[in-house]
């Protein structure tokens, strides 16, 4: 099978299956990756793809009460992590990749490395989480010291920093803030290390917690980021500041939150005046 079969498959997703544009694109990229990296076959330019028209839906946002109700469903480290996502506006992947050195307790800010578009940015650090986070980081440090005594304690470093700083991987500052309970084996560098908690763990916990609250909104972990931005906007924070906190390249992306904020508070429906 080659170009024609790939086009038929992708077009079938749009015409017969009626999938979303993101689903169709994901399927196309997966097939192209298969041919390029595994089968090692050049399929040429696919010029007869019938692309699904992208529909711009408004993001789902939780109210403040719903957010508080949801956070109360969690316990321990997961509760701290979920609270941090909502309190900072970080994406799930950004929160999991957070390193100890990127938390500035004194300045009350967090540096997010390699965000979307491989850009760094700084976001706020909630006052209510400072003591909890200090206690958590101390526990992570104790675990790291135990790992070092056991002959482990080294973590993976981004880019080529290991070659430049051979011993940096064992420094506490480079450790993940939310390390996994078990070790992972790095086949390239041939050593065991603690990676961060897997995304699926957080997603599963979130789904269970949402079900317990009986909140009927189709929320996900990313909804916390949408809620962060919307709640800031509702309290009077200017749109440019929110754009910077979220790391949006275009203000147009941030402006979507002006359409879903509670801006009609106090506005009465005409029906209320006649019945």
Catalytic residues: 91, 116, 222, 225, 248, 257
CA 156 → CA 89, 97, 202, 243, distances in Å?
25, 11, 22, 31
Query: b vs e for 196-220, b when ≥16 Cβ sit within 10 Å of the residue's Cβ?
Result: bbeeebbeebbeebbeebebeeebe
CB 74 within 8 A of CB 238: no
Kindly list the distances between the CA atom of residue 215 and the CA atoms of 28, 42, 50, 74, 201, in Å, as whole numbers in the listed order.
34, 48, 37, 15, 20
Measured CA to CA, the distance from residue 209 to residue 206 in angstroms comes to 5
Q: Work out whether the CA dihedral 166, 170, 172, 174 comes out positive or negative.
A: positive
Contact assessment for residue 89 and residue 59, using Cβ atoms and an 8 Å cutoff: no
């Amino acid at each position: 099978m080659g170009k024609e079969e790939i086009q038929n498959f992708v077009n079938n997703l749009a015409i017969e299956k009626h999938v979303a544009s993101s689903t169709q694109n994901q399927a196309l990229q997966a097939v192209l990756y298969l041919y390029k990296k595994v089968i090692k076959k050049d399929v040429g330019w696919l010029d007869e793809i019938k692309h699904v028209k992208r529909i711009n839906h408004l993001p789902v946002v939780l109210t403040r009460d719903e957010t508080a109700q949801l956070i109360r469903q969690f316990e321990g480290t997961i509760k701290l992590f979920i609270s941090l996502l909502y309190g900072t506006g970080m994406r799930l992947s950004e929160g999991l990749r957070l390193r100890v050195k990127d938390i500035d307790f004194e300045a009350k800010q967090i540096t997010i490395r390699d965000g979307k578009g491989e850009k760094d940015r700084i976001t706020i650090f909630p006052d209510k989480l400072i003591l909890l986070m200090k206690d958590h980081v101390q526990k992570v440090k104790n675990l790291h010291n135990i790992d070092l005594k056991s002959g482990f304690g080294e973590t993976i470093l981004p880019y080529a920093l290991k070659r430049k700083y051979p011993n940096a991987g064992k420094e506490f500052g480079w450790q993940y803030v939310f390390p996994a309970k078990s070790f992972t084996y790095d086949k390239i560098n041939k050593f065991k290390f603690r990676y961060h908690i897997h995304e699926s763990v957080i997603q599963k916990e979130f789904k269970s917690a949402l079900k317990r609250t009986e909140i009927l909104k189709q929320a996900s972990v990313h909804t916390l980021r949408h809620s962060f931005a919307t709640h800031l906007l509702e309290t009077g924070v200017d749109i440019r500041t929110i754009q910077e906190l979220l790391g949006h390249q275009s203000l147009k992306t941030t402006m979507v939150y002006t359409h879903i904020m509670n801006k009609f508070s106090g506005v009465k429906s005409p029906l209320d005046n006649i019945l």
